[in-house]
Amino acid sequence: MNRSFSYEQRVGIDAIAVHVPRLYVDLVGEWATKRAAELGEPSVEALIGKVQKGVGVVEMAIPDAHEDSATLAAMAAVKVVLQAGIDPREIGTIAVGTETTVDQSKSIAAYVLGMLERRFGIDLRESGAPQFQFACIGATYALESTVNMFRARENTKPYGLVIATDVSRYPLLSPGEYTQGAGAVAMLISENPRLCTLDPRVAGTITRDERDFFRPNGMSTAVVDGKYSIDVYLDCMAEATKLFLQRSALEAKRNGADVRGERLDQRVDHLLFHAPFPRMAEYAALRIIGEAWRSNVEQFPFLQPLLEQAKLSGDTQAMQRAFEKSLAASKPFQEFFAARVTPSLTLAKRIGNIYSGSMYLGLASLLESSPDRSRLAGSRVGFFSYGSGASARVFSGVLVAPEKAYKPHILAELCAETAGGSRVALSLADYEHLHRGPLALEGAPASLSQPLPSIRAAAGEFALTRVGAESSRARVDLGYRYYDWIPA
């Protein structure tokens, strides 16, 4: 390896792979029929309309009893290693971002490291394996840390592994219920990456101490103030975007060679948002593209009447809402959104919120749904990351050779098992049974109980096989989670 130091070296994502549970809930079927009355909706059709059009999801992935954030992460990691065709012994660090860790103390990355060692028969003991927690933005901080390690030439091996993994769970019968999901995204980080070089010195980060969404210790479902969480997301994203644009402009001046304009839609070609549900990406695009166009209204004369109309709405917030509503209905915005954002949402519609992996699922979705990946080469991607609590980070990268670096795999897996894919629809009873989880031993937390029997037995995958129950002088493993590779 060349060890000379340069801020200009190209570092980024060499390969990306996704793993989601095979079980899913169809939000149009039995679920909608029962929930419409339970949620007080006027009709089943009204609930389906709200979930499909208003929120933008049609299916959500649900982990089986033997799956959790650790197994999903390890499965995504195995996939990225096999798809990239690298020797897994060349991985020198494993960083995991998660909101739904499996232990209060041990890093989930250490579990993943052990699973990779067993699966590939290798020794990864010389790797670092930290866990990053900050709601849905944890994996972005894991990525930043790993990329900077490579930029500073502190890496000891050619690849770093960054994994975003989560199981999103809200109480049944709450408005959050239809924004659940589960899955993991694994990315290999390297110098001279084949997939996406990340731009140095342009990231804009904002952090505010907020209560929009959280999960108190001991609770398995999130607490969220839904509408407020949307407002905090939008405010933080707008602020982080402003910083990103300022830093990008400075960089462009410094480099001299970048002839792009300074408006957001000139700086980036594709916009990947943290998408807890697909409509959220539309709200975010309306806010930041709305601001970009509005500040250059002479270039967008169609906005003038929309702005005049919005001014009649009252206070600043009402004005903003009215302006964004009319912008959403305009042809220029709809064309912009369809070309620059929609391709990144195809998978989220069918998987749901995977928390820390959501924005990276957007990258996979863009790659997966493009009919000719070679046409994406050289285009600049804007990453709009968000985690409740709350932090937003906006950064960018340039796609290198996506036709070579990415092997489509997710859309095929999302086909029904009977049609050659791997998906299995859950009955409402099985979904609710899995949601409730194992029954707690008397007076003990549910995490100490054995896993429930699986809906579909594990095969060709990592599985949680048992939870330790010993607490004697000879051995202590009470509550420890044991994972094994189960052959197909």
Instruction: Give the footprint of ligand HMG on this chain (CB under 6 A).
Output: 46, 49-50, 53-55, 99, 135-136, 175-176, 179, 212-213, 224, 226-227, 229-230, 233, 274, 276-277, 280, 353, 355, 386-388
CB of 432 to ligand HMG, least distance (A): 18
Return the H-helix or E-strand segment holding 381: strand 380-387
Residues 160, 92 contacting (CB under 8 angstroms): yes
Residue 11 vs 48, nearer CB to ligand HMG: 48
Residue 212 vs 461, nearer CB to ligand HMG: 212
Residue 58 vs 452, nearer CB to ligand HMG: 58
CB of 364 to ligand HMG, least distance (A): 17
**Cis bond upstream, residue 240 (ω within 30):** no
CB of 285 to ligand HMG, least distance (A): 13
- Residue written as token pair 């499909």: 52
Residue 101 vs 197, nearer CB to ligand HMG: 101
CB of 86 to ligand HMG, least distance (A): 30
Residue 226 vs 408, nearer CB to ligand HMG: 226
Residue 212 vs 269, nearer CB to ligand HMG: 212
CB of 376 to ligand HMG, least distance (A): 26
The shares of helix, strand and coil residues in the chain, as percent rounded to the nearest 5, are 45, 20, 35
Residue 343 vs 387, nearer CB to ligand HMG: 387
Cα 80 from Cα 92, distance rounded (Å): 15
**Residue partners of 162: CB distance under 8 A and separation at least 6:** 95, 96, 97, 139, 142, 143, 146, 186, 187, 189
Residue 179 vs 344, nearer CB to ligand HMG: 179
Cα 358 from Cα 345, distance rounded (Å): 10
Residues 78, 483 contacting (CB under 8 angstroms): no
CB of 57 to ligand HMG, least distance (A): 9
CB of 375 to ligand HMG, least distance (A): 30
Instruction: Give helix 278-294 / helix 316-328 axis angle, nearest 10°.
Output: 110
Residue 457 zone, left/alpha/beta (φ > 0; ψ -120 to 50; rest): beta
Residue 93 vs 100, nearer CB to ligand HMG: 100
Cα 197 from Cα 380, distance rounded (Å): 9
HSE-up of residue 2 (Cα within 13 Å, Cβ side)? 7
CB of 401 to ligand HMG, least distance (A): 31
CB of 185 to ligand HMG, least distance (A): 14
Residues 86, 159 contacting (CB under 8 angstroms): yes
Residue 135 vs 414, nearer CB to ligand HMG: 135
Q: Taking the CA atoms of the chain, what radius of gyration do you get in angstroms?
A: 23
Residue whose CB is nearest to ligand HMG in the complex, by number: 54
Taking the CA atoms of 341, 344, 345 and 346 in sequence, report the sign of the dihedral they define. positive
Pair of tokens at residue 38? 């339970």
CB of 362 to ligand HMG, least distance (A): 13
CA separation (Å) from 318 to 274, 311, 312, 315? 25, 9, 9, 5
